[in-house]
Structure 1
Amino acid sequence: MAVSQIPGYRYGDPSLPPSSISLDDLHRIQQALLFTEDDVRALRRAGEILAPQVSDILDVWYGFVGNHDFLLAYFSTPDGPDADYLARVRARFGQWILDTCRAEYDESWLAYQEEIARRHYQDKNKTDGVQGAPPFIHFRYVNALIYPIFATIRPFLEKGESDPAEVERMHQAWLKAVLLQVTLWSQPYLREGAF
Structure 2
Amino acid sequence: MLTYLGTALPRFTSPAARLLALQCALRTDACGQVRLPAGLLRGMRLRGSGELWRELAHAGWLQLPDFRALPLQLRLLDAAVLDQAPGRRARCRAAHWALHPAPLALPAAAPALRLTALVLAAHPPSQAEHGTEMDILASLCGHSPQQTGDILDRLVTTGTLEAWHLNRETDEVCWQLRQPQARTHACGRTRWRPDRAAFKEASST
More strand by share: 2
- Highest Rg: 1 or 2? 2
More helix by share: 1
Under a length normalisation based on structure 2, what TM-score does the superposition of the two structures give?
0.28
Q: Which has the higher contact order (CA 8 A, sep 6+)?
A: 1
